[in-house]
A and B are shown apart, each in its own frame.
Chain A
Amino acid sequence: MDVLIQTLVAGVLIGGIYCLIGIGMSLIMGVMGIINLAHGQLMMVAMYITFVLSSYMHVDPYFSLIVAMPALFLLGCFLQKYLLNPLMKVDSILPENQVLMTVGIGMVIAEICRFIFTSDYKTVKTSYGGEAFFIGNISFNVPMCIAFIFAVVITLILFWFLAKTDTGRSIRATAQDKEAATLMGVNSTRITIITFGLGSALVASAGSLLIPIFYLFPDIGGPFTLKAFVICILGGLGSTAGAIFGGLTLGLAESLGATYIGMGYKEMVGFVIFIIALVFLPGGLVGIKRLIKS
């Protein structure tokens, strides 16, 4: 029984971080209709910012959220405004081909970081880094619990932003129907820029929260982009609530797979669920909701 509870706890805690990674990509996918394949690399940039702040100015990783998130927001806006938006103006390039541009952006970012920081593994050591508290026999890793709480808070703030503010509503409107939104007076170009920035900021928060637990090197982005993609599909493209479901599902699936099937098959469990979702539930969670309604 202990093994099961420990597994579930581990799955939920990592699921929280996965949610943050997935929500960013889901937003971008919903509004712009493109898969941001540079997502993992943006997270890596945030992790390097956190690392630099921690090593040279001894800023705690959780406080560097305040720096990393706005910095990545600006980077995201910059990328969308000067690299991705101009592509949309060229008629011969299909909107879907913006994906290729994100691949290029990802590679450039990764190599620039490798050039500055080399391929060495970097870690951020905190006083609470390896600490754990016990409830009964179940061990809770302190940094992961803090990360989970932050993830919940950030997600709640995001939902409030999307539901209650003008900009948030404009984002949702653009995601639902770009032309109709433009007709209603929403500046869709500005919204795409803000959305990419917002998506980047969200994945930046995931990075800063992850670095006390894991380690950092320029190639860390790839696997996380894949995970974000799986989460988006599980939750339904463009649905932020779905991304939460997707993140938790993936976290739990990997954890249960690691315990009961074997740790070498952990990644495989995620991908098997991905394929099952694609075959039987192509709309993800949103698809199920629609099915239930109709």
Chain B
Amino acid sequence: MRVLKILMVFLLSVTLCFTFGVSSSMAADSVKVGIVLPLTGAQAKFGEVEKLSFDLALEEINAAGGINGKKLELLIEDDTGRPDVGRSVVEKLITKDKVVLIGGGYSSSVTYAVAGVCQQNAMPFLVNTGSADKITTSGWDWIYRLNPPVSHYADAVESLLVQVIKPKTVAILYENSLFGTKGASSFEKTCKRLGIKVLLKQGYEHGGIDYKPVLTQIKRHNPDIIYMVSYIMDASLLMKQSREMKLTPKMFVGGAAGFTLPEFVDNAGKASDKVISATLWHQVLPFPGAMDYYNKFVAKYNRPTEYHGAEAYAACYVIADVLKRTKSFKNTDIKKALSETDMMTVFGPVKFITWGKMKNQNKAATYVVQWIDGKLEMVWPEESKTKTFNYPVDWLKVWGY
């Protein structure tokens, strides 16, 4: 028993020394950037696509000479999908790892918390996915955002609704954290503007099992379209259960996020067919390197990618560009370099300007995609489409009844 105790103490001290040893052996001539992503927890799937995209971009950047000869190093930390954890990992990145820039930011609630910490510490933060408007409408000048805000996600959907579908009524379902709530309220405002009556607007707790009660209510109201803002598993369950209930509006419209991931068609199967969604990117867009990025990703990781991955990949290139142009690695110089960004990426043109109520916000367009035969096809705007928009849809036939 005594021997066992001594052995345990020895092993623990060895482990401790090991961890200290490893952390102090970082190369002195590399530039460190912290990336905050959900690697575990409920949003791990999204975090994974973004992490793999960051890795892919990092390899290419360092192979091409890095940051003026220095190696670019990404310290990717796990926020587990919780704002309090996000706050503590970014504090660690700033104070302990002494990074020069923070990137990443997937879920809006976590991104907002992390942005608050960065603003307080005068640390530049390049957000690539967190979309709640208030991340760039709070007047925080150290926060820069590559992706469009959630209030603009449905811009392309809007023109599709007005020109093709022409619905009179809508039911809005949304997951009740920051992302869903903001996405739903901006779509509600859009509907008011377009003269579409909102019959029902309900939030649900993300991670639910049974949506039949609310779907039954929607069925009773019989709206022309159903607009859903959901993360991945909820999106699959909602469509599966809509199919089980034979709920047939004119169209199911997803507000990006869960509706564009390959996991959506994997899990929802037949129930995902002909569903449309807003999206921020598609590999056929005429941005240099977009299709290349898609093909490289598929070849390396054996799975498809979509707009979240493109955001991360583009963000990494923007970070590299900023660090190459900056006069020094002081935070004020990096901030200046960020403000002067004007480049083309696989995600589209990137320039951080002040527009609407937003500061340091890139102006990016949005598009509409539709799941046709298990593939995500671009259907709107007309000029960029890969397949014609399937409409009207005989849902019962599509669902195999």
Chain A interfacial positions (CB closer than 8 Å to B): 2-3, 6-7, 10, 14, 114, 118-121, 123, 125, 129-132, 134, 139, 141, 210, 213-215, 217-219, 223, 255-256, 258-259, 262-264, 266-267
Contacts and interface: CB of A to CB of B under 8 A. Distances in A.
Interface stretch (B22-30, B113-121, B267-275): B267-275
Interface stretch (B38-46, B89-97, B191-199, B324-332): B38-46
B207 A114 contact: no
Contacts of A219: 41-42
A120 B44 contact: yes
A114 B39 CA distance: 11
A214 B243 CA distance: 16
A132 B210 CA distance: 14
A259 B214 contact: yes
Interface string B328-347: 00000000000000000000
B267 A217 contact: no
Interface string B180-214: 00000000000000000000001111011111111
24 contacts: A2-B216, A7-B212, A7-B213, A118-B44, A120-B44, A120-B45, A120-B48, A121-B232, A130-B243, A130-B271, A132-B244, A134-B246, A139-B244, A141-B244, A214-B209, A217-B42, A217-B44, A218-B40, A258-B210, A259-B213, A259-B216, A263-B213, A264-B204, A266-B208
Contacts of A256: 213
Given A6-B216, A263-B214, A121 B269 contact: no
B245 interface: yes
Q: Which bracket fits the contact residues of B?
A: 35 or more
Given A125-B267, A263-B208, 6 more contacts: A10-B212, A114-B40, A119-B39, A119-B41, A123-B267, A215-B267
A28 B114 CA distance: 43
A168 to B, nearest CB: 32
Interface string B341-356: 0000000000000000
A257 to B, nearest CB: 8
B233 interface: yes
Contacts of B214: 258-259, 263
Nearest to A259: B213
A7 B216 contact: yes
A219 B217 CA distance: 30
A262 B205 CA distance: 10
A21 to B, nearest CB: 12
B77 interface: no
Given A118-B44, A121-B232, A263 B216 contact: no
B217 A3 contact: yes
Interface of B: 39-42, 44-45, 48, 176, 202-205, 207-214, 216-217, 220, 232-233, 236-237, 240-241, 243-246, 263, 266-267, 269-271
Contacts of B271: 130
A120 B47 CA distance: 10
Nearest to A7: B213
B81 to A, nearest CB: 9
Contacts of B245: 132, 139
B36 to A, nearest CB: 16
B203 A264 contact: yes
A48 to B, nearest CB: 16
B216 to A, nearest CB: 4
B216 A215 contact: no
Nearest to B239: A130
A56 to B, nearest CB: 18
A130 B243 CA distance: 8
A109 B220 CA distance: 44
Nearest to A10: B212
Contacts of B41: 119, 219
Contacts of B207: 223
A259 B217 contact: yes
A131 B244 contact: yes
A213 B45 CA distance: 20
Given A119-B40, A121-B45, A264-B205, A255 B267 contact: no
Contact of B233 (A6, A121, A259): A121
B260 to A, nearest CB: 16
Given A132-B244, A264-B205, A121 B263 contact: yes
Contact of A215 (B203, B220, B233): B233
B209 A213 contact: yes
A266 B204 contact: yes
